[in-house]
Amino acid sequence: MVLCPGFQKNGRPCTNILEQKNKFCKMCGWKIDPEIFTKEAISCPNIPLNSDEICGTWIESSQMYCDQCGWEVNHDLFPSEQDIGNEDMVFNGQNSPPAETRKRHHGGSYRNFLKESLSCSQTQGEDILTSANSDNILSNVTSTSRTSRETHKGRILCFHDLDLEKITVDKLFNLFSMYGRVEIIKLFFHHKGSGLIQMGTEAQAASALRYLDRLHVLDRFMHLEYSRCPKIDTDDHCKWTKNFREGRMNRGGSSFNYTKTACAPSPVIHMANLRDGITEEDIVDVFSQYGNIIDLRIYVYGRSRGALLEYASVEQAVTAIMEMHNFVLPDNKKLIVSFSRFQSMKKASNNS
């Protein structure tokens, strides 16, 4: 039994049972790769944060982490080649389960495999576990996994499901830097569209997770989870990894109050550090390439110029921020682009 590694429209893993005769998954439309029926793999047993369901993403034996939820792969769940070819292998102190059971272990539900494993296991001096007992233990295992996932927080987040052709570490920095000091961003070399990001503090990581998880980014829904990685290795594939700790790209310097400025993504963006003499036509010429502009207003505060611009959607505003924040202006100043705390220009006008 092989479970579909695709995703439904609501962003949840599909995990529909695939059949070799079909070309596409009938539940999510994922194009079936025939090799998926021959690879040694399991479905991810992790229960992601804020979810009551097992991830179920297809994981191959060569992976170190699940590229959808960031779970650190336990390779003990994969049977060895010797185990696969030996019909009389010992399984948890007992004889090998039937071939059908082993096939379900490879590509099927981890929940079913665990239940079968528990029902086949036998402790020293005790009888074989009954089905009812195995269900109780299974409940405890999944409950422990969920609790561990929820309590495992930190500064490192795992992001995935992005378009590798459009995403870069600098674009991700422009987005995440609104919610804290970004220290390191790493795109996975072998798992395209996924990676890790290390924030300055746990509170900043929590803020980024709160506001950016499931955000529509460059035609994809970005999924965020806390990572179990203790640190990010920056030695390999420098093209895919960047250290921002030593630079001056983070917003506002070391004294910047990210907690005070953090807000939910909005179709209204705020621009600062605009040069003198800039006109609405100048701004429209540049920013209209990222979406449909609904409204625009330039204002002066002190010796500085700023602007509020409203797009037709949040996704368009996200693209503009990722592309234009830190853009170097003719006077060598860097353009600052952020989400506004207002969800529309009308609300901004009422509060001005």
Confidence (pLDDT) at 96: 36
Confidence (pLDDT) at 158: 93
Report the alpha-carbon angle 320-265-312, nearest 5. Answer: 60
Q: Which of 144-148, 174-178, 231-235, 345-349 shows the lowest per-residue confidence on average (mean pLDDT)? A: 144-148
Are the CB atoms for 345 and 308 separated by under 8 Å?
yes
| Residue 6 banded pLDDT, cuts 50, 70, 90 | confident
Which pair of tokens denotes residue 119?
């029902």
Q: Is the dihedral of CA 110, 7, 228, 186 positive or negative?
A: positive
Ranges of each domain in the chain: 2-151, 156-261, 268-350
pLDDT in tens, 12-27: 667 778 888 888 888 8
CB-based contacts of 161, cutoff 8 Å, min separation 6: 7, 68, 193, 194, 220, 221, 222, 223
Confidence (pLDDT) at 314: 95
Task: Pick the more confident residue, 261 or 79.
Answer: 261
Pairing of strands 241-243, 58-60: unpaired
The letter for the amino acid at 77 is L
The region, left, alpha or beta by phi > 0 then psi within -120 to 50, assigned to residue 300 is beta
CATH of 268-350, one of 3.40.50.300, 4.10.640.10, 3.30.70.330, 1.20.1630.10: 3.30.70.330
Same fold, 156-261 and 268-350: yes
- DSSP for 213-261 reads TTEEETTEEEEEEE---SS---SS-GGGEEE-SSSS-STT-TT--HHHH
pLDDT in tens, 40-61: 667 677 776 555 666 767 677 7
Task: Pick the more confident residue, 62 or 284.
Answer: 284
Confidence (pLDDT) at 74: 72
The region, left, alpha or beta by phi > 0 then psi within -120 to 50, assigned to residue 253 is left
> Quick one: which of 177, 347, 343, 350 has its CA closest to 268?
343
pLDDT in tens, 273-301: 998 888 999 999 999 999 999 999 998 87
Task: Pick the more confident residue, 69 or 145.
Answer: 69
Task: Pick the more confident residue, 153 or 177.
Answer: 177
pLDDT at 72 over 70: yes
Confidence (pLDDT) at 90: 35
Task: Pick the more confident residue, 108 or 336.
Answer: 336
Q: What percent of the chain lies above the pLDDT cut of 90?
A: 33
pLDDT in tens, 113-158: 444 443 433 333 344 334 444 445 444 444 444 444 445 689 999 9
pLDDT at 224 over 70: yes
- Mean pLDDT over each residue of the chain, to the nearest integer: 75
Confidence (pLDDT) at 125: 37
Q: Which of 160-164, 249-253, 276-280, 314-318 has the highest mean pLDDT?
A: 314-318
Q: What percent of the chain lies above the pLDDT cut of 70?
A: 66
| Residue 109 banded pLDDT, cuts 50, 70, 90 | very low
Q: What's the rounded Cα separation, in Å, for the pair 147 and 135?
A: 18
CATH of 156-261, one of 3.30.1360.120, 3.30.70.330, 1.10.645.10, 3.40.920.10: 3.30.70.330
Confidence (pLDDT) at 146: 43
